[in-house]
Amino acid sequence: MRKKPAKPASQEPNSLDVVDRRHALKYLGIGAIGAVPLMASARLMDGLVRDVVKGSQTDVQAADPGPATTKSGRIRQWSMIIDLKNCDGCQSQGTPPQCTTACIEGHLAPQPMEWIEVYEAELAAGGTQFIPTPCQQCENPPCVKVCPVGATFPTPEGTVLIDQERCIGCRICMAACPYDRRFFNWGTPPIPPEAALADYDADVQVPASRGTVMKCDFCPDMVRDGTLPFCVQACPNDAIWYGDLEEDIATNGRTIVKASKLMAENSAYRLKEHLGTKPRVYYLPGHGESVGRDARDEGRIPTEWPWIERAEGAATWTR
């Protein structure tokens, strides 16, 4: 992964209560906040299968880690804050959006799935802004209400997951999602061959399978293990914050702040709030001005999937 450039002083949070780093990491459970390799096949396997040693005998079994909890035992409530003042669609990098690329490579996501898609939207005063859009992880999720087999479900940590082994491919949840953040495997998914080696788990959705729905899962397995999600790590402008509403804390991998203060001082909003879905993803208004972007600089480099030629026999499709 490319080393992040030093952040200009003007990008540091203004008048925020910056929490002591060691104290905050202890609360959030993030002990290794630095970058990890994007190709995470081995890491996913390590998270799915654990060695349980009893005396001289080793039993290998699927682990059920349970929800992440605070020091006091309360269940964490994961959330995301995206600062649009710092997002330029990676125009300054001369690359496709790195949050999207990292998510694709880290989750071995099939083409054309962009679990965190960077939309270019028009501004009322002219020009455009880039809006990274993962699953909104709604507290009142329409998708859960309509699934006839319970394949999509909320977790105690506030995320919404999909169990592809239960999914029957009816796609009713896709129709119910007002954010267009669900994807269907119409054919044999174009994924790298090594994905087939993973033991399936709803937390990571690897490997993808034909006739099922997939989406952003908020990387709950990574956060429980003390690592930030791929999109947060990969953002060159530190625009994506991941946090815990229970402890009121958020980090972009470089700085740690009180989540409520960051949102209050920057007029945070949520997408389509009038629908009452109560998303866990918050946005801070902007168009990349903090990283030097002019709103009139339109366009971004298209997303790529690096393993299409290696996915023998796979079928690609358009949304």
**Strand ranges inside the chain, DSSP E:** 49-54, 57-62, 78-83, 117-122, 128-133, 152-154, 160-162, 183-184, 213-214, 240-244, 249-251, 256-257, 281-284
Residue range(s) defining the domain that contains residue 125: 77-299
- Domain annotation covers residue 59: no
- Of 13, 216, 194, 2, give the one whose Cα is nearest residue 104: 216
Q: What pLDDT score does 43 carry?
A: 36
**∠ at Cα 192 (189, 195), nearest 5°?**
85
Q: Assess whether pLDDT exceeds 80 at residue 63.
A: no
- Domain annotation covers residue 49: no
Mean pLDDT along residues 293-314: 89
Cis peptide before 189 (omega within 30 of 0): no
Measured distance CA(130)–CA(286) in Å, rounded: 9
List b or e across 58-93, with b for residues whose CB sees 16 or more CB atoms inside 10 angstroms. eeeeeeeeebbebeeeeebbbbbbbbbbbbbbbbee
Q: What pLDDT score does 10 carry?
A: 42
- Domain annotation covers residue 292: yes
Mean pLDDT along residues 246-259: 96
What does the block give as tokens for 142? 């329409």
Secondary-structure percent of the chain, ordered helix, strand, coil, rounded to 5? 25, 20, 60
The confidence band for 48, taking pLDDT boundaries of 50, 70 and 90, is very low
- Domain annotation covers residue 45: no
The answer to whether 173 and 152 are in contact (CB under 8 A) is yes
The answer to whether 103 and 231 are in contact (CB under 8 A) is yes
CB neighbour class for 171 (10 Å; exposed up to 12, middle 13-18, buried from 19): middle
Q: The domain spanning residue 99 has which CATH number? A: 3.30.70.20
- Domain annotation covers residue 311: no
Judge if pTM exceeds 0.75: yes
| Mean pLDDT for all residues in the chain | 84
- Domain annotation covers residue 248: yes
In tens, the pLDDT along 20-37 reads 434 444 445 544 434 433
Question: Alpha-carbon dihedral of residues 23, 27, 33, 37, nearest 10 degrees?
Answer: 160
65-79, 106-120, 172-186, 205-219: segment of lowest average pLDDT: 65-79
Q: Assess whether pLDDT exceeds 60 at residue 214.
A: yes
Q: What pLDDT score does 28 carry?
A: 52
Mean pLDDT along residues 137-156: 97
Measured distance CA(186)–CA(165) in Å, rounded: 16
- % of the chain exceeding 90 in pLDDT: 68
- Domain annotation covers residue 48: no
In tens, the pLDDT along 121-130 reads 999 999 999 9
- Of 195, 156, 172, 234, give the one whose Cα is nearest residue 44: 195
Q: Which residue has the higher pLDDT, 37 or 232?
A: 232
Domain count, the chain: 1
- Domain annotation covers residue 140: yes
The confidence band for 64, taking pLDDT boundaries of 50, 70 and 90, is low
In tens, the pLDDT along 275-284 reads 999 999 999 9
Mean pLDDT along residues 92-107: 97
The answer to whether 233 and 102 are in contact (CB under 8 A) is yes
